[in-house]
Structure 1
């Protein structure tokens, strides 16, 4: 997506999981919309390569390493991001793991469940908590949590992931009420099945089924989600908070 209007001019935004897939698409689109961006990812080599690619396109992007399962790593990342950007106006909690794809409730093991919850739920909470002082100081802080449409229709054989993204939606509502007094908005974006590396495990037949059951009958690409993220970070959404926006081509219409 290449916005014709620079809705995020001068904003400072941290995007987690920005080294590839949806996160990289978000980082590129947010930077094109005028923001200065820090992308943070556990993939050390890849995050630097991703940042370099965007810098080569004359975007103000920096790469940092973070492990969302490690609270100390999260704190260090946020400190470095704020030093780099001179503050923070927006946070995109994009990073997550699936791990449980294809496993039934009975096949799912405790270690996998705990890993998914540690990154997707606890990591989202800790990253948000670490960013709050800077977001409060901004005066127009915005938090975007990447959920999923799977909790909205009850995807099977994906229990840990679905539960974690349902928790993200619930946290979004609670945080929105808690942080509204600080003029910080908190919203969730719930994509459908997007064609990225992370969904490579999904059988081709299931991709076809998604496409056939969408109102817009084509594959969903990362750039299809970027516009919603830019809008939610912008001043156009300053009176919108606690909401979950499905972006799935009409697969789910809650």
Structure 2
């Protein structure tokens, strides 16, 4: 797999899955721009992958616009790939639908849903200019099987899946492919507070039993960013070792 010469913007790149994606894309020789709200860890990941780091707050439209402008200056206005990985998972430890605070619900939707839309909208002209633009949205298989006690997060990732399909049709005429990956629970920092029972549920329920690390899905993301991924536009790939089948 090679992404040599392809400029790719990755959000949520500072740690966890995002950092693993960054390292894999760097191995594929992509020209990376990493974005995250966490500056310290973001700069460290950028240094480790030979990338440029840009701070972004996905809950702030002005910050997203500034990030896109920085990408435009860095790439000369041509962007080959966007990975919308940045998200928050408030309540990931488990909280009932009737115990979610309205402010918490709104924050999750603002970052995960609106942030994904605004970042895609801001980058679309550069993706179109590339002629082989690719957008990969990181969703979650919780939206495919309806995980309980995680409603705000599940709703946000369900919206990301729906947006993927709609954007694939809107951007398709410009040969921009839009896909989504829907991993299950991965062994990253963001899942440290998930109840052990849920971890066991996934480990035992997968067709390939056991825990799943973030490095197991990075090759698939790299392929979806390649020129050969155009036929997959609009598809949602449940990269969860067989916990949910599409």
Scaled to the shorter chain, the TM-score interval is over 0.9
Aligned to 2:233: 241
Q: Summarize the alignment of residues 19-30 of structure 1 with structure 2, pairs less than 5 Å apart.
A: 19-30=14-25
- Runs of 4 or more, structure 1, over 2 Å off, are none
Per the alignment, residue 118 of structure 1 pairs with 110
1:110-161 C-alpha deviation (Å, 9 max, x unpaired): 0010000000000000000000111111000000000100011110110000
Unaligned runs of 5+ in 2: none
Given candidates 161, 166, 170, the residue that maps to 2:162 is 170
Q: What's 1:208 paired with?
A: 200
SS in 1 for 2:32: strand
The count of aligned residue pairs is: 244
Aligned to 2:75: 85
Residue of structure 1 equivalent to 2:98? 106
Task: Calculate the TM-score normalised by the size of structure 1.
Answer: 0.94
1:189 aligns with: 181
Aligned with 2:52 (options 40, 43, 62): 62
TM-score w.r.t. structure 2 length? Answer: 0.97
Q: Take 2:29 and 2:47, find their aligned partners in 1: how far apart are those partners?
A: 17
Name the counterpart of 1:150. 142
Residue of 32, 36, 43 corresponding to 2:38: 43
Question: Do residues 95 (structure 1) and 86 (structure 2) align?
Answer: yes
Q: Which residue of 1 aligns with 2:220?
A: 228
Structure 1: runs of 5 or more not aligned:
56-60
Q: CA deviation at 1:205?
A: 2.7
Displacement of 1:204 in angstroms is 2.1
Q: CA RMSD, aligned part only?
A: 0.9
Listed one character per residue, the Cα deviations across residues 48-80 of structure 1 (whole Å, up to 9, x for unaligned) are 11111223xxxxx11110000111100111111
Deviation at 1:240, TM superposition (A): 1.7
Partner of 1:58: none
